[in-house]
A and B are shown apart, each in its own frame.
Chain A
Amino acid sequence: MVFGRGMKVVVCTAMAIMMSRGKALAQVLTDTNNGVLSASIPFGNLTPGNSTTPASTQIQFRVRSNNDNGYRILASAVFNVTPTGLLQGGTTVSASDIGVGITSIIPGNATRTPRVDTIATGFNYDPATVAAVNGLTPYDGTASGKATLADIVASPNMTILSGPKIANNQGINNQNNFLTVTITFGLVGQFFTPSTLSGILTVTLVDGP
């Protein structure tokens, strides 16, 4: 077989793409249907009640990685409030009012064991079960063990979860080679300034450690 110069370029390009393919396959982060994770989780109408139990909502996603150095989940966030009423000496809801915690990590049957997945300091709690003492926001931030969205806004690309190699392969057709991670958000409905809120949390899967 004899190739001309132009043919060598074409073949090299194909090889480069295939190598790129091999590298990119090391990590896959999807929703629970193996699709792109793009979810909207609404708190709905946060009418103040007479309860000390926060409103909560959660999201689950799948993490696959066959990188020998393990994996890390990075988080970044932005937060926006659109007031629909006047401040008048009151308080408007902020990112620090929204608790964020990783409430479960469930390994599939084909994941490597034994394994120790590490939740970053402050994120290892369930915002839904923290009592809102005196009807006020009960989350004090990572330093106090109860992370909020404000902690992530302040530190883009912060690691919230890490661990060793997950499985020997990362194909999304495999139903047992992933970790199912649950993130729970909590917020106490209060007499905040009338407003709508929107927080966008971006999670990114990268190689460890």
Chain B
Amino acid sequence: MITFRRLPMLLGAAMMMASAAFAQTTGVINVTGTNPEAFSLTDTTGIPLSATLALGTLTPTNSNSVAPAPPVTVRIRTNKAYKLSAQAAALSFTTPGLPDNGDTIALTDIGFGITGMTLTGVNVANTGSRLESIPSGFDVSGGWPTATNGLTPAFGKTLNDITTDTQILTGTRVSKKGNMATDNNFISVSFGAAALPQYFTPNAGFSSTITLTIASQ
């Protein structure tokens, strides 16, 4: 028998059951992510740059023309304005001969600069109208200077000018999109070195490691 006194309890129970059993029919999925500032320097195959500017054997001749190393081309990709800097380590020599009061080749005898750039690509930001900025002296796209009297010419810049981390190129964002597998979202920058072969102290080889660093402006 249902009485008035029990009805509130029944009603409450019914409401509790209804509340507990009400169906959940909606769900929310929140997808998040971050596109960080990104800069990359790779060789022309897309792997981290490790290349050699080989001046070869510098045998003195009867010429005032410098011996340039085949340039090394670097691919630059960024999603933000960038600055590229370079730093050369001291020269190291293999089997150096005696100077006998002569001169040994030095960082000041090796010209260094940017020999060319390709600034276009379907996914290059502002393709066709890019204006990279090269500090004075580092642009050797017009060629290397000619020597006079068979001595080291007046290079715009030499490796001696980058013995500390030195800015050599700046520009605005390079890549519209794509990653490092993309074949049209980078600019190509070629770096070269040159020296005039002279009667420097003999050696079996010399080298200097140039470290390129790219970062946000």
Contacts from A to B (Cβ < 8 Å) = 1, 7, 10-11, 13-14, 17-18, 20-21, 24-31, 36-52, 57, 59, 61, 85-86, 88-91, 93, 98, 132, 134-137, 149, 170, 183, 185, 187-206
Contacts and interface: CB of A to CB of B under 8 A. Distances in A.
A88 B81 contact: yes
Contacts of A132: 179, 181
B26 A204 contact: yes
Given A1-B2, A10-B7, A194-B35, A29 B30 contact: no
Contacts of A201: 28-31
Interface in B20-52: 21-38, 40, 46-47
B14 interface: yes
A interface SS class = mixed
A45 B33 CA distance: 6
Given A51-B179, A193-B35, A202-B28, 19 more contacts: A18-B17, A24-B21, A27-B23, A29-B24, A37-B26, A37-B28, A43-B31, A43-B34, A46-B33, A50-B179, A85-B80, A134-B178, A134-B184, A135-B181, A188-B179, A190-B178, A196-B33, A201-B29, A203-B29
8 contacts: A11-B7, A13-B11, A38-B28, A48-B38, A90-B173, A189-B35, A190-B177, A197-B31
Interface string B163-183: 000000000111111111111
Interface in B103-157: 123, 125-126
Interface of B: 1-2, 4, 7, 10-11, 14-15, 17-18, 21-38, 40, 46-47, 77-81, 123, 125-126, 172-185
A58 to B, nearest CB: 10
Contact of B11 (A10, A137, A197): A10
Nearest to B125: A89
Nearest to A170: B23
Contacts of A38: 27-28
Contacts of B29: 37, 39-41, 59, 183, 200-203
A157 to B, nearest CB: 11
Contact of A86 (B2, B21, B80, B176): B80
